[in-house]
Structure 1
Amino acid sequence: MSDKRLITLLSDFGLSDVYVGVMKGVIAQINPALTVVDLTHQISPQNIAAARFCLMNAYPYFPQGTVHVAVVDPGVGSQRRAVAVQLNTGFLVGPDNGLFSGILRQTTAVAAVELINPQYWVKATPSTTFHGRDIFASVGAHLASGVPLENLGKVVNPNTLIELALPEKKTTATGIKGCIQYIDHFGNLVTNICAAEVQGKTWSIVASDYRIPMGQTYSDCQPGEVVSFIGSHDWLEIAVNGGSAQSQLHLDWQAAVEVVLTEESKG
């Protein structure tokens, strides 16, 4: 197996402390030939839903065999499981707290293990507050270097992996009820309703007592006005031209929205 596999890192560690650099040091000690890509380390603290969304939308853009190490872990040191998951196209390593559930709704897990083999950790007794260093970065590097998944711990049923509890979508007489599943750096509000669900339709979004018209991009309205469109990630989103939809509409994570389907498009 090639030692040139990619490892991605995602965390809520920020960049003002050394935590991310230390994880990269652990990886380099195990296999300096590995390529490490930072997805983001600016997930807001303990925001598992944001980590889930970012990882889910980044995953398809990486080559076969990539190992994704994700650490947003408010339960570190508790009884929550540390896991590695094999998919048809890559691997996931991190806490079993729901942050992998977005990917696992789209891609079937081939196998999963609970990480209980200290041979592949930095030390046999890991810190109770930094499993990113002592377990996940180390396991990810070994996995990317060719260590078989089953060597890393105890085989578990992938169906037992934690599903993050988010409001479910519901079909209504006029459209689809959903929620805000992500808020990006610009204050754009990303819903959990995807492009395929509105294909061939004209629609608008009702949220926070506003009816937001459908457009194609940010500039389809005047500066300061609100517009909805299909984002680059294929989810319907709400934005303000030159501003923050979150601030202007006073909406937050998991706030309710409804996509109102008005008519079939012509032609």
Structure 2
Amino acid sequence: MDSYLAEIKGVILSINPEAEIVEATRKVEAGNIRQGAYLLGRYFKYYPEGTIHLAVVDPGVGSRRSPILLETKGYFFAGPDNGVFSYVLEEEKAELAIKLTNSEYQLLSASRTFDGRDIFAPTAAYLSLGIDPREFGPELEEIETFKIPKPEMRGEQIEGEIVHIDHFGNVVTNIPLELLSEVGRFVTMNVKGRAINKLVTSYKDGKDYEFFVITGSGGTLEISSFGKDAAGGLDVSPGDKVYLTTVKT
């Protein structure tokens, strides 16, 4: 138990009492930048244009990594320059990137361990009041990103990767349904030596099978188990490879 989220909210509301704060998620594993980046990439687009997104997944806080503000065509993003915006930048071009250095828009603190409260929260609050993004610091030419895994064709197989495990235990891959439709008909998906041979369109359709493949809400193929934890049953983790075998139709 901690007070960190409450402190961030308090800072924002003390600067802009009219701010509407939405807690998107606080379930990101501690320090898991890739997980945070994936989740942010999934949900940011469903918020109204002009939304300011804070991403505080920051294991390098206090180090040489920069605190940054990004402006895209539709949104603002404040957080550490550590790759947490990688999935966002696959979809949105950064029209402006700022290194947050102007102490006028930051909290004075003896600590260097909580930029979420001391830098990102006040930045978001002042931005919501109409402060020009360029007031927060100098422009950046480059932003830290990591390479997002893409599915690859290997003969008649598609080699993909597990990119996320949700709290139901569904195993989310990076293989989009459109790619399967382009190359042929589903035969089987293999992961860690286990073959899953059933493709269904609803969870209920898969209730008679131990594991099945389904198109998830993100548009990519997932491995699921009706009412059970598929990831636990298969002993898989993000980063594990999956192999989708197809036959041409």
TM-score range, shorter chain: over 0.9
Q: Deviations over 1:75-114 (max 9, x none)?
A: 0000011110000011110001111000101111111011
TM-score, L = length of structure 1: 0.87
- Secondary structure of residue in 2 paired with 1:55: helix
Indicate if the aligned counterparts of 1:175 and 1:260 stay in contact, CA closer than 8 A: yes
- Deviation of 1:145 after TM superposition, in Å, equals 1.7
- Deviation of 1:194 after TM superposition, in Å, equals 1.9
- Secondary structure of residue in 2 paired with 1:177: strand
Q: Which residue of 1 aligns with 2:119?
A: 135
Match of 2:185 among 202, 210, 224: 202
Q: Which residue of 2 aligns with 1:164?
A: 146
Q: Deviations over 1:247-266 (max 9, x none)?
A: 111111100112222233xx
Report the residue type matching 1:90 in the other structure. Answer: Y
Distance 2:106 2:27 in 1: 25
- Secondary structure of residue in 1 paired with 2:213: strand
Number of residue-to-residue matches in the alignment: 246
Report the residue type matching 1:220 in the other structure. Answer: D
Indicate if the aligned counterparts of 2:11 and 2:117 stay in contact, CA closer than 8 A: yes
Indicate if the aligned counterparts of 1:84 and 1:114 stay in contact, CA closer than 8 A: yes
Q: Which runs of 5+ in 1 are unaligned?
A: 1-15
Report the residue type matching 2:145 in the other structure. Answer: E
The percentage of aligned residue pairs carrying the same residue is: 34
Distance 1:142 1:261 in 2: 52
Change in 2 beyond 3 A, CA 1:126/1:154: farther
Q: Deviations over 1:186-205 (max 9, x none)?
A: 11111112233223642232
Indicate if the aligned counterparts of 2:162 and 2:237 stay in contact, CA closer than 8 A: yes
Root-mean-square deviation (CA), in Å? 1.6
Q: Which residue of 2 aligns with 1:67?
A: 52
Q: How does 1:157-236 map to 2 (within 5 A)?
A: 157=141, 160-199=142-181, 201-203=184-186, 204-212=188-196, 213-222=198-207, 225-236=210-221
- Deviation of 1:165 after TM superposition, in Å, equals 4.1
Indicate if the aligned counterparts of 1:223 and 1:240 stay in contact, CA closer than 8 A: no
Change in 2 beyond 3 A, CA 1:196/1:127: farther
Distance 2:116 2:110 in 1: 10
Q: Which residue of 2 aligns with 1:18?
A: 3
Indicate if the aligned counterparts of 1:202 and 1:214 stay in contact, CA closer than 8 A: no
Q: Which residue of 1 aligns with 2:133?
A: 149
- Deviation of 1:148 after TM superposition, in Å, equals 1.1
Distance 2:84 2:14 in 1: 27
Change in 2 beyond 3 A, CA 1:142/1:195: farther
Change in 2 beyond 3 A, CA 1:76/1:263: same
Indicate if the aligned counterparts of 2:174 and 2:221 stay in contact, CA closer than 8 A: yes
Distance 2:110 2:76 in 1: 22
Q: Which residue of 2 aligns with 1:255?
A: 240
Report the residue type matching 2:11 in the other structure. Answer: V
Q: Which residue of 2 aligns with 1:103?
A: 88
Match of 2:42 among 34, 57, 68: 57
Report the residue type matching 2:162 in the other structure. Answer: I
- Secondary structure of residue in 2 paired with 1:132: helix
Distance 1:227 1:184 in 2: 16
